[in-house]
Every structure is written in C-alpha cells, then in structure tokens.
Amino acid sequence: MKGFIYLCFFFVWLTLSPCLSYAQQVTDAGQLPENLVQESVLEKDSILIGDQTWWNMTLPAGTWNGRQIEIPDFSPLPYKLTEQVEALSGVLLDSVVRKRHLESIRARILLTSFDSGSYRLPAVPLCLVGQNGTRDTLWFKGPLLTVNTIPVDTTSFEPFGLKPQMRYPITKGEILTLAGLLVLLAALIFLTVLIVRRRRNHMPLFGPARPKDPPHIAALKVLEDIRARELWKKQKAKSYYTLLTDTIRIYLRDRFGIQAMEKTSAEMLAALRQTASEDSLLTDKIIGGLGQMFSTGDLAKFAKYTPSDLENEESLRQAIRFVTETARIEEEKEE
Amino acid sequence: METVNIKELNERIQRESAFVDIMTLEMSKVIVGQKQLVENLLIGLLANGHILLEGVPGLAKTLAIRTLASVVDAKFSRIQFTPDLLPADLVGTLIYSQRNEEFQVKKGPLFANFILADEINRSPAKVQSALLEAMQERQITIGEHTFPLPEPFLVLATQNPIEQEGTYPLPEAQVDRFMLKVIVDYPKKEEEKLIIRMNNSGQFPTAAQVLKPADIRKARQVVREVYMDEKIERYIVDLVYATRKPEDCHLPDLKPLIAYGASPRASISLAIASKAYAFIRRRGYVIPEDVRAVAYEVLRHRIGLTYEAEAENIVTENIITSIINAVEVP
C-alpha cells in the first residue's frame, strides 16, 4: 500500500514537472494580486489558423525608475505558451518616445496557433531588478485569442478562398539577362542559317556573294583548267574522263535541266535528243560528237582503256565544242 | 594490283558469247515476244542464279523454261507444286530392295539441270525448304548419302500473283535465294495476233538443240571474268545501301515506306547479273547501264514494304525507280 502511494506521487510529479517549470515564468493571472497585474493587448484578437499576431504589453513611465528589466526566457523557439498557442519570438522590448521624452516601454511577443478555438493566454511576468538587488515582478494579464479555422467546401473537401502562390515581381536585371540570352540565341540561329545557306549555295562565308557564272562560263572554266593540268599526260586517264564527263553533266543539268548526274551516258544522249526538238542549237552532229566523248569516257572509266593523247585531246575539244555551240549567250546578255 | 587485258577479254567475249544470238533466235522461234523474259532467263543461266517468275496464267512461263531446256542438251524436270507434295517427292527417298536385301536410293526429280517448280507457293513450307536447300547447297542428302546436283543446275520457280487463297507465300529469307524475280507481262497486240495464228495452224515450231552443258559452264567462267571497275562496285553498293537507308541518299520520303532493305546477297547478285548482262551485250566490262538493266529483277523481291506503302498502293518498283533516279551514276 505504501509503495502504491509512492508510485502515485511519482506519476503526479512526472506529469506536473513541465508545468511547474513553465509556471515559473508565465502563470494564470487569476491567482495574482490586483495591484501587480498590468493590461496587455493583442494586435488582432482573432486570427486564422497559422496566422500571426503581436501581443503588446506596455510599461508606463515611472514603472521601472531606472531599474533593470528582466524578461522571461522563451527558448527554444517556437515556445508553447499553452497547448494550442505558440510564441514565435521572445519578449522584444522597445521604447516609445514622444517629444524627446521617453513615454513608455513596450514589450512584444509574436504569436501563432494551429488549432481553432478561443484561448486565454497565460500571464507573463517582467521582473524589475533594482541596484541593491531588490526584485519586483509585474504580471501582464493574458488576453483572449480566438483562432478561426478555414471554411471548407463540404462538397469537395477543399478550403474556400485558396489563394494562388505569390508571384514575385521580375527585376530589371532578370529581364535584361533573359533578353540578352534571347538576342544571343537569335544571333546564333541567324549565323547558323546564314552559314548553311552560303555553304549550300557555294558562296563565301563573309563578304558579298559572287554572282553565279552562267552554265557555259562555269563549264568552260573547268574545261580550261582540265586542259591546263593535262591530266591524261600523267597516266590519269580515268580521273581525266571522270572530271570531263562530270563537267558536261553539270552543264547539261544547268543548261538543259536534264538530271544528268543520275543518268547513264545512253540516257543522257536520249534526253538530249528529246530536247533537240525544242532547241535548235542541239544538232545531230553536236550530239553525235558528245556521244563519242561519252563512249571514250566510259571505256576509260569502266574498262581500263587507255586512250591515246590524240583521243584525249579530241574528247576535250568535243566537250568544249558542245558547250560553246549550245551556250545560251544572247539571253544571258539580256539578263 | 590486278591487271586485266580488256582488249583480249573483249575479243574472248565476242567469241564466247556468239551462242547467245543463236540461243535467242532458237527460243524466239517458239516463244512469241517476251524478250525481257528470255533475256532474264539467259542472265540467270549465265550468272548461275535461280529465277522466280511471277505472272498470271497463260503467259508462256512454262513454255519459255521448257524451250530453254530444249535449246541446251540438258535434263529437264517439271514439278507441279501441290498442297500434298512431300519433300521426298522432290529430293528422292530410300526404297528397300527385296532382291538385294538393302535400301536403294531413288533419286527425285531435282536431279536435273533445269527444274521448273510450277506454282511454288502451292506447297507448304517444308517442301519449299527442301527445294531451296538444294538451290543453295547444290547437293542433296538422302539417308546417309550426299549427291551433288548436276551442273548447270537452274531452278525456275513460278508463282501466280492472283489467287492467294490456299497458298503458302515464300518467306523473305527464301525469296532472297532467288537471284532474279521476273515479272512476266502480257504480250503486245501484234504478238498476240501471231500467237493465235500459230495455234490455229496447229504447227508448233520446235527449238533446235544448240548448246551443251559444258558450253554453259565455260560461258559462266567467262562471265565471272567480265571486268567490273571499282566505280561500278561503288555504284552497286550505293544502290543497295539506298534501299536500307534512303534518308542518306536524299530520299527521306522513302523511309516510312521501306520495312527492310536489300541484303548483301543482293549486292552480290546485282554484280554478277550485271556481268552476265554485259556478256549478253558482248562487252568485256560492266557499265552503269548494265547495273540499271538488271536492278529491278535483282532488287524487287528483296525490299520489304511497310503497311503504309501497301496502303498507298506503292510497289517495290516505285521504290527502285526513285532510288535509281536519285543515286549518282559514276
């Protein structure tokens, strides 16, 4: 029986011990003498759940008379004033000066609550310590704080009046950085397109584009280059005829619109004969001469045939003759 | 470095290919028109490649093959493929001889120089496989004995593009073993008039035997020697590669239409068929025209079309035409 009583005492002590330590700083004002209790006010006596409000306490002038004010320790923050109300700051002291004269000292505590209901805040003590060590305690009576819950739509179980996330204003610096990046990106795209286009059109990367040579001028330039290099004399008949026939093919493509690069010699000649009915410059003789050049070219390219120097020179002559005799010079002059 | 005397080769080919004209002449006595078919039969014969013929009934497919066999002094077998045909009906089987008290080999109709596999798609896959294995290996195993097939050995299979009900279409892997797929078309009006006259008169000309199997073997050897330049090889590879990756050849539109491209066997077949074509044209070297002339027959059965292509009524010939028109000729 004796052991049971000790056990009961132990449990009572365990339950009340946090309350006792808390009661050293804040306590219910109802138990204090009237002359020691000061009034305090809440900035907002009604708040929404999670909202914050200041609890203001004022020490009128003359109350402390040069004594030191000792404030209660609310660490660690947030400090639970009651089960439902928390202090988000300690007691903050501030002087109120009017006409260069200290009128009062204000103490403030930032409060919040996450539980709806009406709560009587506990009394808060401020201790005034004199120079000779005397101590007077002033108690500030706790006001009533009402915490309202957020109204919930019962059909969707979502709170009413939800506000979207706060949008921060965009600063000038951010706008300038973004604009700079966009300009850089646009410049890069423009440059890439310019380079690709110029490359595709075989134009120089920088500087004005050179006017494109008419087909016969372009062909004659290459043929002149072939003549100057005299490839056939260097035992390079295959390369020589490849270059020669390719030049004529490009000329056929640009001059007559024949897709000669994808056609065989026979197909090219057939296409030319078909075009001859519309183009008086294409005579049987000139097509025949070209056919002879193609025929020698095929032999050199595909049959390891080594034409004589005479044949090589004749092939070049045939090619030049074909280009000069079928060139559309008058129309180009008009252009 | 390989040295080829083209002049000498040309002269040799002029000599060796003389039989081509005689053979074509003899065949044209029996077959009216169908020049393309006859030419492709010759290419297959010279290039040692089997041929798949496709065409509606009555276009002289069987007659053409029979005539080819009669022109050459060679053994000819015709096998009509039916759904109940068995592999042993083709390759042969072992028969027990009571007199000798042992199993004896009874060779099947595949032991011939020219085989006409008529309506190959009428038989199930196991029979097709038996034939196609013989085509590839050029030998047949019956029981414990393996027998080489006679040379020349040429299989000409026919299939009907219509009447698909109750048929067994050849799988892609097996179709690939045919070097050429020839589409036989209707004769021209004048040719058909001539066919009627021949049939009304009741006098059917016969082709004379002008060749021996040894001549074919010799001609095949010469065909292999036909010179093919590196430029032509590259052109062949470009064409075949374009069937696999058309987007690399500036043909991105073809990409969604092709399910699979031609295999390396297509490149090999295109090369040898081009050589055979050059031989028929009595040339000792291959030119791009030769490659283009055989490209359709070599590639048409080796390109797989997607459902999208089929929905748009696109056939492999359209794809090949686009590729030929896009790939640069050397």
Q: Is A200 helix (H, G, I), strand (E, B) or coil?
A: helix
Residues of chain A with pLDDT > 70: what percent? 86
Q: Nearest CB to A302: which of B10, B232, B327?
A: B232
Pair B152, B74: CB distance under 8 Å: yes
Which has more pLDDT, A158 or A186? A186
pLDDT tens by residue, A125-170: 888 888 888 888 888 888 999 999 887 888 888 877 777 788 888 8
CB-based contacts of A71, cutoff 8 Å, min separation 6: A90, A91, A93, A107, A126, A127
* A87-108 average pLDDT score: 86
Task: Give the lowest-confidence range in A31-40, A164-173, B151-160, B275-284.
Answer: A31-40
pLDDT tens by residue, B55-85: 888 888 888 888 888 888 888 899 998 989 9
Main-chain phi, psi angles of A69, to 5 degrees: -95, 125
Shortest Cα distance, chain B CAs vs residue A194, angstroms: 21
- Domains of chain B, start order: 6-215 (3.40.50.300), 226-326 (1.10.8.80)
Shortest Cα distance, chain B CAs vs residue A246, angstroms: 9
The yes-or-no verdict on residue A240 having pLDDT over 50 is yes
Which has more pLDDT, B246 or A67? B246
Which has more pLDDT, B204 or B107? B107
* B110-118 average pLDDT score: 90
Which positions in chain B touch A304 (Cβ < 8 Å)?
A: 4, 6, 227, 229, 285
d(CA A169, CA B106): 96
Q: Nearest CB to A303: which of B227, B289, B327?
A: B227
Task: Give the lowest-confidence range in A8-22, A49-63, A194-208.
Answer: A8-22
Q: Please give the C-alpha separations between residue A21 and each of A73, A190, B151, in angstroms, as whole numbers.
A: 11, 74, 114
Torsion of CA A249, A250, A254, A255, to 10 degrees: -50
Which positions in chain B touch A252 (Cβ < 8 Å)?
A: none
d(CA A40, CA A141): 6
For B324, name the nearest residue in chain A, comparing CA atoms only: A262
Shortest Cα distance, chain A CAs vs residue B184, angstroms: 25
For A238, name the nearest residue in chain B, comparing CA atoms only: B231
**pLDDT, position A24:** 44
**pLDDT, position B306:** 92
Pairing of strands A152-153, A144-148: unpaired
Cα–Cα nearest to A22, from A58, A73, A61: A73
Provide ipTM, 2 decimals. 0.77
Which positions in chain B touch A267 (Cβ < 8 Å)?
A: 289
* A165-178 average pLDDT score: 88
Confidence of residue B237 (pLDDT cuts 50, 70, 90): very high
Cβ within 8 Å, pair A262-B327: yes
pLDDT tens by residue, A44-59: 999 999 999 999 998 8
Confidence of residue B161 (pLDDT cuts 50, 70, 90): confident
Cβ within 8 Å, pair A302-B324: no
Q: Nearest CB to B231: which of A263, A267, A301?
A: A301
Cβ within 8 Å, pair A302-B329: no
d(CA A248, CA A240): 13
Range A26-149: architecture per CATH? Sandwich (2.60)
Average confidence score pLDDT of chain B: 88
Residues of chain B with pLDDT > 90: what percent? 36
Domain ranges, ordered by start, for chain A: 26-149, 215-334
For an interface test with B, give the residue of A244, A250, A304, A305 to mutate (most B CBs within 10 A).
A304
CB-based contacts of B233, cutoff 8 Å, min separation 6: B271
Token representation of residue B177: 């073993």
**pLDDT, position A118:** 94
Cβ within 8 Å, pair A262-B287: no
pLDDT tens by residue, B286-317: 999 999 999 999 999 999 999 999 999 999 99
